[in-house]
Chain A
């Protein structure tokens, strides 16, 4: 982040100097800071609404319900955790919260799940276990059912039907989910094989 914040403005300054657009750039800087406020205001409504609805869903126990539906998948993806144990429970809750788009709830659950995995694997000493990799990697893929931010951004920019991209988002999400899981499984598998051969 630090690097980006130095490189981009510096490059821009050089470019503007060369192409003689310093005046445009200077006024763009003023205009953009105002635009940021307008953007947040126009995003705010949808984000508040959806956070509210999802909090209601959480209170009604829908996260736990979804977690129960997901537990067979978790058993298949995470081979090292105990069935019905603390880590397995936290992992399913983390995934369920992600699917429902409960960003504020899913991160603490995920962190707790990481710690629980560490407790359940006695030989953990700073090098990630297969299950830790799987959990982190699942969270870097977007599991969210309703991409609120993307829709809110579209609405703020005057799209006629902000949610029309939902099917596209789902297809791409499923694609990256499958790729990420397959890649992690394969890489872990080959790493273990190599280690066995070395022993």
Chain B
């Protein structure tokens, strides 16, 4: 048993108890939120079908292997699993695309491997940078975003190295 095993149960119990004390209709609120979650799932399905097929094509054609091999020297230098590199590139552009790539990595490298953990950590700790920036700036019809995109990209372009290093420290390769 580790500390991380405690997080989800503790949050769940805390939220339920706190809400009950605040006289919230816990059951009703939960069902409302859960049905919204269901809607989210239904909404990502069409995108996922297209993206999983595209990325599956890319993998089956042998292009991914070639790309991974080409990136190997760079990745080896910073101790990063080169099969996760396609995810690093795609993550700022597409959320469901990143999910599709993760799935490809997890099914070929296997669960609980270094590459799989790095890929999952990367998904959990980053956002769809370009999409988010577009939504926020277009809300105020702002066409000059100045340093917003460069600032966000500085973090995206370095976070993957940190990601590999941190997962290595916690779990080893």
In the assembled complex, the Cα of A180 lies from the Cα of B62 at a distance in Å of 36
Counted as pairs of residues, one from A and one from B, with CB atoms less than 8 Å apart, the total is 336
Task: Determine whether B72 belongs to the interface, using a CB cutoff of 8 Å to chain A.
Answer: no
User: Are A176 and B159 within 8 A (Cβ)?
Assistant: yes
Quick one: closest B residue to A190, CB to CB? B147
Q: How far is the CB of B122 from chain A (nearest CB, A)?
A: 8
User: Are A128 and B154 within 8 A (Cβ)?
Assistant: no
Task: Determine whether A179 belongs to the interface, using a CB cutoff of 8 Å to chain B.
Answer: yes
Task: Determine whether A70 belongs to the interface, using a CB cutoff of 8 Å to chain B.
Answer: no
Given contacts A153-B102, A157-B106, A188-B147, are A12 and B4 in contact (CB under 8 A)?
Answer: no
User: Are B30 and A159 within 8 A (Cβ)?
Assistant: no
User: Are B136 and A150 within 8 A (Cβ)?
Assistant: no
Task: Determine whether A187 belongs to the interface, using a CB cutoff of 8 Å to chain B.
Answer: yes
B125 contact set on A, CB distance < 8 A: 142, 147, 168-170, 172-173, 176
Given contacts A49-B34, A140-B129, A165-B124, are A29 and B151 in contact (CB under 8 A)?
Answer: no
B49 contact set on A, CB distance < 8 A: 33, 36-37
User: Are B121 and A150 within 8 A (Cβ)?
Assistant: yes
User: Are B8 and A146 within 8 A (Cβ)?
Assistant: yes
User: Are B140 and A132 within 8 A (Cβ)?
Assistant: yes
User: Are B4 and A161 within 8 A (Cβ)?
Assistant: yes
Contact of A136 among B63, B133, B144 (CB under 8 A): B133
A15 contact set on B, CB distance < 8 A: 61-63, 66
B151 contact set on A, CB distance < 8 A: 133, 137, 180, 183-184, 187
Q: How far is the CB of A35 from chain B (nearest CB, A)?
A: 6
Task: Determine whether A39 belongs to the interface, using a CB cutoff of 8 Å to chain B.
Answer: yes
User: Are B162 and A175 within 8 A (Cβ)?
Assistant: yes
Encoded as 1 (CB less than 8 Å from any B CB) or 0, chain A from 1 to 31 comes to: 1001100110111111001010011001101
User: Are B147 and A62 within 8 A (Cβ)?
Assistant: no
User: Are B63 and A139 within 8 A (Cβ)?
Assistant: no
Interface residues of B in 116-162 (CB under 8 A from A): 116-117, 120-127, 129, 132-133, 135-137, 139-148, 150-152, 154-156, 158-159, 162
Task: Determine whether A160 belongs to the interface, using a CB cutoff of 8 Å to chain B.
Answer: yes
Task: Determine whether A54 belongs to the interface, using a CB cutoff of 8 Å to chain B.
Answer: yes
Please give 20 more A-B residue pairs, beta carbons under 8 A apart, in addition to A35-B52, A56-B24: A1-B93, A11-B63, A13-B57, A15-B62, A21-B61, A28-B56, A56-B30, A128-B148, A133-B146, A137-B148, A147-B124, A151-B124, A153-B99, A153-B123, A158-B111, A159-B116, A163-B4, A171-B166, A179-B158, A184-B151
Please name 7 pairs of A and B residues whose Cβ atoms are closer than 8 Å in the assembled complex, sorted by A. Answer: A36-B53, A40-B44, A59-B29, A139-B136, A173-B125, A176-B126, A179-B158
A→B interface (CB under 8 Å): 1, 4-5, 8-9, 11-16, 19, 21, 24-25, 28-29, 31-33, 35-37, 39-40, 43-44, 47-62, 103-104, 107, 110-111, 114-115, 117-118, 124, 126-128, 132-133, 135-137, 139-142, 144, 146-147, 149-151, 153-154, 156-161, 163-173, 175-177, 179-180, 183-184, 187-188, 191
